[in-house]
Amino acid sequence: MTHYHVATTGSDDHDGSAASPLRTINRAAALARPGDTVRVHEGEYREWVTPARGGLSDQRRITYEAAPGERVVIKGSERITGWTPVTGTVWKVVIPQTLFGDFNPFAHEVQGDWLIPPASGERAHLGDVYLEGRSFFEVHDVDALTDPPRRTESVDGWTETSEPIADADQTRYVWYAEPGETSTTLWANFHGADPNVALVEVNVRRSVFSPTEHHLDYITVRGFEMAHAATPWAPPTADQPGLVGPNWAKGWVIEDNVIHDAKCSAISLGKEASTGHNYSTERGDKPGYQYQLESVFAAEQIGWDREHIGSHVVRRNTIFDCGQNAIVGHLGAVFSTIEDNHIHHIATKREFYGHEIGGIKLHAAIDVQIVHNRIHDCTLGIWLDWQTQGTRVTRNLLYANTRDLFVEVSHGPYVVDHNILGSRAALEVFSQGGGFVHNLVAGTVRLEPVIDRATPYHRPHSTQVSGYAVVYGGDDRYLGNLFLGGDADLAYRPGTAARDGATFGTQGYDGHPATLADYLGGLREGEGDHRRFHGRAQPAYIHHNAYANGATPYESETEPVVLGEPVAVRVVDEGDRVYLDLDVPADALPVRSGPVTSADLPPVRFVGADFEEADGSALVLDTDLLGAVKTAGTDYPAGPLATLPAGAGRIRVW
């Protein structure tokens, strides 16, 4: 095993020893072999690290790490000087094309499948400007540099308002660019700062740490600050580059990093281009849904399986200020673990809008474990879309998001347990086959069948497709959850009506049979094979949940507890620490004996699969939000905590 050292005082002509370090991480990457470590020392590195090779196994990795105790920053940007004043606080600079090479972010639009352009038709570009680390907003003509447009995002697109786009302090930092063949002219409003003295940067590289080749496996990326990547829009029907990511490989570990200011996505565990690349947008002949379905089968043909793809670990990273996602991935995230990350302020600039935005946005999250992440101040916290099977979402803290958790067009089995869903729009289920156990659901619940799109399901713990079906809704399980009520009209955004079908509690399952036997007994005899099932509501297995503040149980629920006294719950964010302020009536919450196991969760109907661990063993949901282990024969309250204070109290939850 060799240690290659990199330092800002080094030279790429050196041998990479501690006494004779290299200057660039890429030079070390060209030398590193399986089992080697590249140790990068204090300083700022402006490069796109493209590993030349991967490791051979979990024991023979290639590791890239910041030297212990040293701050190492890798940027996809370059510093720009030579600005000249234009008028007032607006300055101009001409940037030669040589700085960008063959990729100029200011000449590339944010575009692709499922992107929804604003009504004005103005397209955002991948370029960005940073003043002392602060990201600017793009405007689309020179005049707007001093009078920025008054535009903001609505629930389903863009609408005109009387409020200007601005940062939190209401100062409008904006830029405008005109790219040409040999240079790009860039204007920016610096509001009194001198851009030739202050640190002004523009992004010039698509990624910061990502191979250009596929199947470079078993690489560890640890301890860096990584920023300023001009990453493109990353829908599930396209190549999905991120600021950092494996680019269709197996066994990466991305840990203990600070990652911010990716134009679209920070960490990508996604697919590659050969299985489809924005064909719906480019060809216009079929919906993106159909091309996405085709991409699943195309991926199987090029080796999408446990042996070659996925099994990544993404842990203890802090990710913020990205335009689309903190973590994204279609197909490539299978069998991975995402844990202990702090994700915030994702897609809150709202410079562009589309249906692929969220803190964590995964398609085909087969056997993915999403564990103990703190996600807040995002437009959508976690979005699991297509083929959510064997997936577990456990012990996560979500709050102050526009929406918390959305599970779409999946057939299960998947489990959501011991989480705080603390935002006003807490849970959206456009799927079937879910198990929701011991969560605090502090906002609305929205249910919706999806009968116009059939989506795949798989053999258990495998990428092999077993079949595909539409989503009739139901076939869900709720046990030991605490639901809170509120004002539905405020659940999605101030001043707008609640989404259709959003309620508090589980009353949205009214009309569903309570058992599989009841469902089968209600099928229409004498009709054809398909017609007797069509349109029939599937079972809802709902029991032993608690409801407060106006939340309402499913009409056929077994032993619900509806609390007559109010329950006060508030998530208090104090920076590094987060608390849950509670005021719960003494002895008011229901109890249940012992942890929930596979035996408490009936198998899902379409997939014909049991609720079990990723290794096929029996599922045991015995660990609460704070890591306390529940024991058999002990009674536990509803919600994510194994113990609750009687009356008013405060509990640290992060």
Determine the 3-state secondary structure of 600 from DSSP. helix
What single-letter amino acid sits at 627? Answer: G
Which residues lie closer than 8 Å to 529 by C-beta, 6 or more apart? none
pLDDT recorded at residue 500: 62
* Spacing of C-alpha 308 from chain mean position: 23
pLDDT recorded at residue 153: 44
Number of Cβ atoms within 10 Å of the Cβ of 214: 16
pLDDT recorded at residue 10: 98
Q: How many angstroms separate the CA atoms of 223 and 322, rounded? A: 19
**How far from 620 is each of 80, 270, 543, 598, 629, CA to CA, in Å?**
55, 30, 18, 7, 11
pTM of the model: 0.96
Flag residues of the chain having pLDDT under 70: 148-170, 488-500, 586-588
pLDDT in tens, 429-445: 999 999 999 999 999 99
Q: How buried is residue 647: exposed, middle or buried, by Cβ count under 10 Å (0-12/13-18/19+)?
A: exposed
- In the chain, what are the helix, strand and coil shares in percent, each to the nearest 5? 10, 35, 55
pLDDT recorded at residue 536: 87
Question: Which residue bears the tokens 């996604």?
Answer: 270
pLDDT recorded at residue 170: 54
Strand 405-408 vs strand 382-385: parallel, antiparallel, or unpaired? Answer: parallel
DSSP state of 296: H
Question: Do residues 572 and 582 make contact, with C-beta atoms less than 8 angstroms apart?
Answer: no
pLDDT recorded at residue 342: 98
DSSP state of 452: E
pLDDT recorded at residue 189: 97
Question: Which residue bears the tokens 């990544």?
Answer: 312
pLDDT recorded at residue 585: 82
pLDDT recorded at residue 493: 46
CA dihedral of residues 484, 489, 495, 501 (deg, nearest 10): 110
Q: How buried is residue 66: exposed, middle or buried, by Cβ count under 10 Å (0-12/13-18/19+)?
A: buried
Closest CA to 545 of 590, 495, 603, 605: 590
pLDDT recorded at residue 498: 46
Q: How many angstroms separate the CA atoms of 194 and 89, rounded? A: 9
